[in-house]
Chain A
Amino acid sequence: MRESDTFPRVSDADLFAALRSVLPEEAVLTEAQARRTYESDGLSAYRQSPRVVVLPADEQQVQAVLAACHRLGVPVVARGHGTGLSGGALPLADGVLMSMARLNRIVAIDAHARTARVQPGVRNLAISEAAAPHSLYYAPDPSSQIACSIGGNVAENSGGVHCLKYGLTVHNLLRVRGLLADGSPFEAGGEGPDGPGFDLLALLTGSEGLLAVITEITVRLLPKPRTVQALLAAFDDVERAGQAVAAIIAAGIIPAGLEMMDGPATRAAEAYVHANYPVDAEALLICESDGTAEEVADEVARMRALLEAAGATEIRYSRDEAERLKFWAGRKSAFPAVGRLSPDYYCIDGTIPRRTLGEVLRWMYARSREVGVDVVNVFHAGDGNLHPLLLFDASKPGEFERTELFANDILRKCVEVGGTITGEHGVGVEKIDAMCGQFAAPELETFHGLKHAFDAAGLLNPGKAVPTLHRCAELGRMHVHHGELPHPDLPRF
C-alpha cells in the first residue's frame, strides 16, 4: 500500500484553500487545538494530530473533499464517532481527517418493509430508538452502541452480545451508497434480498475505510421480541462453564446472548456496579433467551437443565426487566470496572473455537504469571470471541511494551488453535503486525490488489488493516534474530 513519500507534497496553504473552496469556513479545522480533538479513536495508546480536519455535512461535500484530495494526492481518513478499538481512525500526519459526524440524519424508516435508511454519522442506538414506535429494532449492539456510529459499524463489521443469534453488521445490511477515492458514487447491495454483481456489500463491510467512503446505509430492522429473560449461572471452574456452553449449543439451542466472565472479571464488575454477582465463582455465564413467552419459557427450562447437568453451583433467573438489566449491567461495565483495578488496561479481541477455551485460558493464566502482567477475561462465549484485558501501568517504564508482547502472544495463540486475531474490533494499526502471522504473502497480496482495484492512488486510510509484505518480511527477520516483536517505537504506519 501507499508509502508515505509517494506523493509530491502539496503545501498547507494550497490544501486548505482547496478544502475551503468546497466547504463552509467553519467546516475546515486547521488550528492545532481543534485538530488535537481528533488525534485518537478509542485506542488512545496511539495518537497523531491530523494535518487538517474537515466536517462535511452531506454527500455532496464528502464527494468534493474526496475529489480535491484525489487531485492533490492527499490521503483521507474517514472517522465516525471515534469509538473504534484498533486505531482504524487514527489520523495521518500528512492527511485529512474527515469526520462523518454531521451526516447524522435518519433519512427514512420503512416500517412495512422493515428497513431504515440512515446517514453514516447516525448513532447505532438511535436507529433502534427511531424504529421503536414500530416495534422494530436494529439487532447488532456493540457495547459502545450509545455512542458509536453506524458508519463506523460498517467499516469494522461490528458485533455485539447478541450476534450468535442475530449476526454481525454484515448480516443486517441491505444496501450502502458510497464514494470511491476519486469521488465517484456507487451503490452496493439492494433493497431486495440480494444485489446485482459481486457481493461488494460484504467486501466493503469490515474494510476499515480502505476501499470507499460510505455516505448512506440501509439496514434491516427486526421485530422486537415480546419477552426476554436472562439466566445467571455460576461455576467453580472455567472449563466446566465452557462445557456448559457447548452442551447448550449441542442441544439445539441458539440463545440470544451467551456471555462468560472469569472470576477476576466477575469480582471487578461486582465491586463496580453491585450487580449481586456470586463473587466466589470462577466463571459466570449469562444466558439470554428471547421470543414469545412460550418460546422463552421452553428455552429457559431446557437451558437450566443443561446448566445443572454441567455442574453449575448456582443458577438465577431474571424475574423482571429490571433484574435482567442488572444481570447485564456488570457484564456491560466490565471494561470500566477493570479500569478501576489498574491505571491502564489493554483490551484484546481474538476468536477461538469454543472447544479450545479451557486450553487457551490455562495457557493465558500461566503466561500471565510468567510475564508478570495480570489478565482478566470477558468472553462472548456463544461465538468464541475472547476479550482478555491486560492490566498495566503506563507510567512504569517497560510495562506497556511487556503488555504489548503478551498481547501479541495471545493473538498468536488464537491463530494457533484455529481462531483469528480479531473477532470484532478490527486490525487498524494495532494488529497490523499480527496480520503477518495470520495470512501468507499471496493472501496479503490479494488484499493489496483489492485495495488497488478500489483506490489505485492509495489515498483512503492508507497503512491500516493490511501490512505491506516488506513489513512482514522485516518482522519475520526480527523474529529469527531476537525471538520477539520489534520495539514499538519503530514507525508503525
Chain B
Amino acid sequence: MTPSTPSPLAEIEADLAGRVAAAARDRTPLRLCGGGSQAALCRSDSGAPLDLTVLQGIIAYEPSELVITVGAGTPLTVVADALAARGQMLPFEPRLAEGRATVGGAVAAQRGGPRRWTAGAVRDFLLGLVLIDGRGQRLRFGGQVIKNVAGFDVTRLQAGAWGSLGIITEVSIKVLPLPLLERTLQFELDQAQALHQINAWAGQPLPLSASSWEHGCLRVRLSGVAAAVDLASRVMGGEALDDRTAAAHWAGLRERCHPFFSAGGTLWRLALRPTAAVLELPGSVLWEWGGGQRWLRSDAPVEQVRRAAAAAGGHAELHAGGPAGTPVFHPLAAPLDGLHRRIKAVFDPAGILNPGTPDYL
C-alpha cells in the first residue's frame, strides 16, 4: 500500500480523531482500551473508555516483503494465523491472551515472549504506524520498508509508551519465517551455574531461541534447520523434552499462565545485565532470556528491589501486589523525568490520553 492509497480504517480513524479533539478541548481524560490483556500495569482506571478493538483487519500482507500491515485492534491470534498459513511468524512471540491481546496493545505494552531473547523485542520489528495524537491529528511515521531513517523514530518511541503518546491505529511489522525445527533441552543446574552456562552458550554460534530457569532446571529451546539443531544438541548435551511438554512450557511463559505467575504475593519483573549474579533478595525467581528477564516473587522492600536492579544495569517493574501506592515503573531521575514530561506534552498537551500511565510521567 502506498501513502496515497486510502486506508480502509479511514472512517474509524476520523471518528476517533474527532472524539480525541473534542476530549482535548474539554480536557476529558480518555482511557484507551484494546483487548484488556495488560490491565495489571495500566493505572488509568479513570477516563472515558475508548474502544480500539474496532480497528480491525489485515490491511496488507506480502510474504516476500516480510511485512504485514494491520489495524491496531486486530487480535494477535488473527495475525499469527495469517502468517503461519504462509510459513511466517511474529518474531517476538507475543502473549496472545486467548485471542484478547491486540496488535496495538502489544506495541503499547508488550516486550515480547520467549523468542524475544535472541530474535528481538516488539520495537525491533516495528516499521511504521499511524497515530492519532492528543490533539486529534492523524500522523503517519515510518513505513512498510525495513530501512528508513527519514525523521525521528517516533514509531519505536510508541513501543512501551502505553498509549500515553497517541492512539496507534495501524501498524506495519517485519515478520520472519517460521523455524523448520524446534527442540527443547533440559539441564539440572543451580541458578548460578545456569546463568553462567546459558551466557557461555549465547556467546557461541548456536541456534538458541528461548531459555528459562526455575527450581534447579534450565530449559533451552533451539530453532533452525535440522542439521544445526542436531549439532547444537550434541554440543550442549542435556535431556530432550518431548514436543508437547516443551510447547506447553514455552506457552506457559509466553502467556504467563505458568504456575509461578499465579502463586500470589508481590511479583516483580527485573530487566538486568544477563550475566548479573544471583540476586541477593528473599523470595523465589524464575528467569528467561538468558538471565536478562528475571521474575521475582518477593516481599523485599521496594527500594531494595529497585536498588538491586539498578546495580545490575537494569530496572524493576511491579507486576502484581506490593504496598499500596508503589509505582509500577522504575522512577526516573533528572534530567530524564522532565524530558519524559516534555515529550508527553509534544504528543498530548492536554494530558488526556491514559492519564497516570505510565506512572513515571
Contact = CB atoms under 8 A, between A and B. Distances in A.
Interface of A: 110-114, 134-136, 156-157, 159, 163-164, 167-168, 170-171, 175, 180, 184, 186, 190-200, 202-203, 205-207, 210-211, 223-226, 246-247, 249-250, 252-254, 291-292, 294-295, 297-299, 351-355, 380, 383-385, 415-427, 431, 435, 438-440, 442-443, 446-447, 449-450, 452-454, 465-466
B353 to A, nearest CB: 14
A447 B154 CA distance: 8
Given A113-B273, A114-B202, A223-B204, A295 B330 contact: no
22 contacts: A112-B275, A113-B275, A114-B199, A114-B202, A196-B315, A199-B159, A206-B149, A223-B203, A294-B231, A295-B227, A351-B143, A354-B65, A385-B146, A418-B144, A419-B145, A423-B148, A424-B149, A439-B151, A447-B151, A447-B154, A450-B152, A466-B152
Contact of A416 (B2, B153, B225): B2
Contacts of A417: 2
A294 B153 contact: no
B145 A351 contact: yes
B137 to A, nearest CB: 4
A167 B120 CA distance: 10
A181 to B, nearest CB: 11
B203 A111 contact: yes
A112 B199 contact: yes
A207 B329 CA distance: 26
B271 to A, nearest CB: 4
Given A190-B313, A453-B345, A383 B140 contact: no
Nearest to B67: A353
Nearest to A354: B65
Nearest to B157: A203
Contact of B4 (A112, A253, A380, A416): A416
B205 A226 contact: yes
A203 B64 contact: no
Given A110-B275, A190-B314, A194-B271, A420 B145 contact: yes
A254 B176 contact: yes
Interface stretch (B183-191, B256-264, B336-344): B336-344
A435 B151 contact: yes
Contact of B64 (A111, A226, A249, A383): A249
Given A171-B124, A202-B157, A206-B152, A193 B111 contact: yes
Interface residues of B, number: 91
B203 A135 contact: yes
Given A195-B315, A424-B147, A446 B347 contact: yes
A383 B150 contact: no
Given A190-B314, A194-B121, A420 B148 contact: yes
A266 B115 CA distance: 40
Contact of B203 (A136, A291, A295): A136
Given A164-B146, A446-B347, A453-B345, A192 B152 contact: no
Please give me the 8 A-B residue pairs with the lowest Cβ-Cβ distance, nearest first: A191-B313, A294-B227, A252-B177, A202-B156, A449-B346, A192-B314, A423-B147, A453-B342
B61 interface: no
A180 B335 contact: yes
B6 interface: no
A113 B198 CA distance: 10
A213 to B, nearest CB: 14
Contacts of A114: 199, 202-203
Interface string B72-101: 000000000000000110000000000000
B10 interface: no
A8 B231 CA distance: 68
A246 B64 contact: yes
Contacts of A380: 147
B263 to A, nearest CB: 24
Contact of B143 (A250, A355, A418): A418
A360 to B, nearest CB: 12
A67 B135 CA distance: 35
Interface in B105-139: 111, 116-117, 120-121, 123-124, 133, 137-139
Interface string B142-182: 01111111111110110111000100000000001110100
A159 B146 CA distance: 11
B140 to A, nearest CB: 7
Given A190-B314, A203-B153, A205-B153, A113 B147 contact: no
A297 B225 CA distance: 11
A354 B225 contact: no
B165 to A, nearest CB: 8
Interface string B17-54: 00000000000000000000000000000000000000
Contact of A198 (B4, B230, B270, B340): B340
Question: Which residue, A194, A207, A292, A417, has most C-beta atoms of chain B within 10 A?
Answer: A194
Contacts of A110: 275
Interface in B277-331: 289, 292-293, 312-315, 329-330
A352 B2 CA distance: 10
